[in-house]
Structure 1
C-alpha cells in the first residue's frame, strides 16, 4: 500500500487570479511529482493551529518540510537583524509543532532548504539569520542566479550516513538560500557540507530525521541520485 506523505504548504501572500484573494496555500508541483515518482501519495498540509497537530499527524506515514520564507528569529531567542528576509510566524508555529510531534512519535520527516532549518530550530538548534553577513568564513554563492534545476556547487557527504547510501559523495547540487543551519541540536549530526563549511545535510541516528539544504525536487527529473533520496525516505515510513 502506498504511503501517505504530507507536504507542508507555503503561503502565497499576494492576491491570485484564481480566487482574487490573498493567503493561498500551495505546494511545489515538482515536489508533488517527486513523491509520486518515488511511490508515495502526496498530501498538502496547510498551516493549522498547533493544538490540532496530533490529530493530523495520526493520518500520515511521513512528512516533508519544503522551502519557503525565513524563520522568525524569536524561535531561537534572537531579535531580527537588518538583513532578515520575509517571515511567516503562522507557518513557523505550525511547522515547529509538527516537527517536534513527528520526532516524538518517530514519524519519518525530510527537510528541504527552509525545511532543514525549521527542523533544526524545532529540535533546539539555530540558523544564521543572514548567511552573508553572519558567517565567519569565506562563502560560496549560495543563492544562485542560474535556473533552479541546474546544480551550481558541490557538497561532501559523510560516508557513515544514510544520505551517503542514497546519493553518494561529492554531489553536485543547486542552491538558493540566504539562511543556513548554524548550531545542530543534540540528536542530530552533520552529514553533508559545502566546500566553504556551510552545513548542507543533517540526520539522526536512524535517519527518521533527515534534511538537506539544496532542492532535490528540482533535480530528480534528470538526476537518479536525487530521486533515490525521496525513494529511501518513503521506504523509511
Structure 2
C-alpha cells in the first residue's frame, strides 16, 4: 500500500487572479511530483489549529516540511534584527507543534530548506536570522540568481550518515536561502556542510528526522540522487 505523505503548505498573501482572494494555501508542484515519482501519495497540509494536529498526524505515514518565509526569531528567544525577512508566525506555530507531535509519535519527517531550519528550532536549536551578517566567517553565495533547478555549489557529506548512503559525497546542489541552522538541537547531528562551513544537512540516529538545506524538489527530475532522497524517506515512513 502506498504511503501517505503530508507536505506543508505555504501561503500566498496577495490576491490571486484565480479566485481573487487573499491567503491562498499552496504546495510546490515539484515536491508533489517528487513524492508521486517516489511512490507516495501526497497530501497538502495548510496550517490548522494545534488542537487538531494529533488527529492529522495519525493519518500520515510521513511529513515533508517545505521552504517558505523566515522563522520568527522569538521562537528562539531572540528579537528580530533589521535583516530579517518576512515571517508567518501562524505557520511557525503550526509546524513547530506538528514536528513535536510527529517526533513523539515516531512519524518520520523530512525538512527542505526552511523545513530543515524549523525542525531544528522546534527541537531546541537555533538559526541565523541572516546568514550574511551573522555567520562568523566568509560565506558563499547561498541565494543563487541562477535558475532554481541548476546547482551552484558543492557540499560534503559525512560518510557515517544515512544521507551519505542516499546521495554519497561531494554533491552539487542548488541554494536559495538567507537563513541557516546555527546551533543544532540535541539529538540531531550535522551530516553535510558547504565549503564555507554552513550546515547543509542534519539527521538523528536513525534518520527518522532528516533535513537538507538545498531544494531537491527542483533537481530530482534530472538528478537521480535527489529523487532517492524522496524514495529513501518514503521507505522509512
Alignment partner of 1:72 is 2:57:
no
- 1:158 maps to what in 2? 158
- 1:216 maps to what in 2? 216
Q: Partners of 1:140 and 1:111 in 2: how far apart?
A: 22
Query: What are the equivalent positions in structure 2 for 1:29-44 lying under 5 Å apart?
Result: 29-44=29-44
- 1:47 maps to what in 2? 47
Q: Partners of 2:189 and 2:71 in 1: how far apart?
A: 21
- 1:63 maps to what in 2? 63
Measured after TM superposition, the shift of residue 150 of structure 1 is 0.1
CA RMSD of aligned residues (A): 0.4
- 2:200 maps to what in 1? 200
Partner deviation per Cα, 1:27-81 (whole Å, 9 max, x = no partner): 0000000000000000000100111110100000000000000000010000000
- 2:17 maps to what in 1? 17
Measured after TM superposition, the shift of residue 206 of structure 1 is 0.3
- 1:181 maps to what in 2? 181
Tell me, what secondary structure is at the counterpart of 1:34? helix
Q: Partners of 1:90 and 1:141 in 2: how far apart?
A: 30
- 2:83 maps to what in 1? 83
Q: Which runs of 5+ in 1 are unaligned?
A: none
- So what's the TM-score if we normalise by structure 2? 1.00
Query: What are the equivalent positions in structure 2 for 1:140-151 lying under 5 Å apart?
Result: 140-151=140-151
Q: Partners of 1:51 and 1:93 in 2: how far apart?
A: 12
Q: Partners of 1:30 and 1:185 in 2: how far apart?
A: 29
Q: Partners of 2:146 and 2:105 in 1: how far apart?
A: 39
- So what's the TM-score if we normalise by structure 1? 1.00
- How many residue pairs were aligned? 237
Structure 1 stretches of at least 4 aligned residues deviating more than 4 Å after TM superposition: none
Tell me, what secondary structure is at the counterpart of 1:63? strand
Q: Partners of 1:167 and 1:210 in 2: how far apart?
A: 13
Alignment partner of 1:109 is 2:109:
yes
Q: Partners of 1:171 and 1:128 in 2: how far apart?
A: 23
Q: Partners of 2:161 and 2:40 in 1: how far apart?
A: 23
Query: What are the equivalent positions in structure 2 for 1:221-232 lying under 5 Å apart?
Result: 221-232=221-232
